Amino acid sequence: MMTKFIAKAYLWILLALLYSPILIIMIFSFTEAKVLGNWTGFSTKLYSSLFAGGVQRSLVSALGNTFAIAMIAATVSTILGSIAAIGIFNLRSRPRQIMNFTNAIPMMNADIITGVSLFLLFVSFGISQGFTTVVLAHIAFCTPYVVLSVMPRLKKMNSNVYEAALDLGATPFQALHKVILPEIRPGMISGFILAFTLSIDDFAVTIFTIGNEGLETLSTFIYADARKGGLTPELRPLSTIIFVTVLVLLIVINKRAEKSKSE
């Protein structure tokens, strides 16, 4: 009984510690003060000015870029990674080992090294950096995760079903569409979600590949903002919204997963 109480208390204290910074931001998103920590009375002005545009246009455009990059990078990674997974699955053992090892490099490597290496690639070949280079860089570090989430589905699949479809007169394309695709779809979906969140979250690779022509993502915007000393007050409501959205989403996904397990 006593150990149970101590265990529970420990978890709650740790959670309180983990969440106290974000709680402070949430609380102070409901006041107008420029400097965080000054309470000048309850107000939702920061929320309305966040959506009103105007002064905060650059923040909104940074948010738009972040989503556009994540959407393109996640989509391309999912297609490229799924095709690659089917290919790798059918390789002989030696080339398969080489592919698996190379595929693991971007996941094992530190973000800053990936960033520096891609920076050197682009400058060495005289490619001007901007939206395209950021998207290419994000595809490079997202695709390995797609390959890894599709691969287990292929391993679980009964390969005779594909052969049977061909024997029954399906073209290879039909067999792919009707047999393989439905089997690997859950892996593709979780790969896509993973790629999307990784891309949205990224800072280290983006900052090395974004160039200096004024393109901003949410991460580089916050970084530039923080270095200027003052944190734009509108970032408080924005962080709050992002945080609550992710929280609700994760809890819903988790509840659904638990429900489908018990059924």
Kindly identify the residues of this chain, within the stretch 30-59, that bind another protein according to CB under 8 A: 36-37
Contact between 120 and another protein by CB under 8 A: the answer reads yes
Among 1, 17, 93, 214, binds another protein (CB under 8 A): 17
Among 108, 168, 259, 262, binds another protein (CB under 8 A): 108
**Could you give the angle at the alpha carbon of 220 between the alpha carbons of 72 and 128, nearest 5°?**
65
Reading the block at residue 171, the tokens are 């073209």
Nearer to another protein, 71 or 116 (CB): 116
Contact between 196 and another protein by CB under 8 A: the answer reads no
The single-letter DSSP state of residue 54 is G
CB neighbourhood size of 27 (10 A): 13
Among 151, 215, 218, 237, binds another protein (CB under 8 A): 218
Strand runs labelled E in the chain: none
CA distances from 240 to 25, 81, 237 (A): 7, 33, 5
CA distances from 171 to 142, 174, 175 (A): 31, 5, 6
Nearer to another protein, 47 or 243 (CB): 243
Q: How far is the CB of 142 from another protein (least distance, A)?
A: 11
Among 73, 208, 210, 234, binds another protein (CB under 8 A): 208
Query: What SS3 state is found at 31?
Result: strand
Contact between 228 and another protein by CB under 8 A: the answer reads no
Among 33, 60, 80, 170, binds another protein (CB under 8 A): 80
Count residues near another protein (CB under 8 A).
80
Q: Candidates 44-52, 97-105, 163-171, 184-192: pick the segment binding another protein (CB under 8 A).
A: 97-105
Contact between 177 and another protein by CB under 8 A: the answer reads no
Q: In b/e form, how buried is each residue of 240-254, taking b as 16+ CB within 10 angstroms?
A: beeeeeeeeeeeeee
**Could you give the angle at the alpha carbon of 220 between the alpha carbons of 217 and 222, nearest 5°?**
105
Q: How far is the CB of 144 from another protein (least distance, A)?
A: 9
User: For residues 191 and 145, is the Cβ–Cβ distance under 8 A?
Assistant: yes
H helical segments located in 168-234: 172-175, 181-201, 204-209, 218-227
Contact between 232 and another protein by CB under 8 A: the answer reads no
CA distances from 115 to 27, 33, 122, 199, 206 (A): 35, 37, 11, 13, 7
Contact between 4 and another protein by CB under 8 A: the answer reads yes
Q: How far is the CB of 33 from another protein (least distance, A)?
A: 12
Among 11, 55, 161, 166, binds another protein (CB under 8 A): 11
At 42, which amino acid appears? Answer: F
Contact between 154 and another protein by CB under 8 A: the answer reads no
Contact between 214 and another protein by CB under 8 A: the answer reads no
User: For residues 145 and 78, is the Cβ–Cβ distance under 8 A?
Assistant: no
Q: How far is the CB of 106 from another protein (least distance, A)?
A: 6
Contact between 60 and another protein by CB under 8 A: the answer reads no
Contact between 197 and another protein by CB under 8 A: the answer reads yes
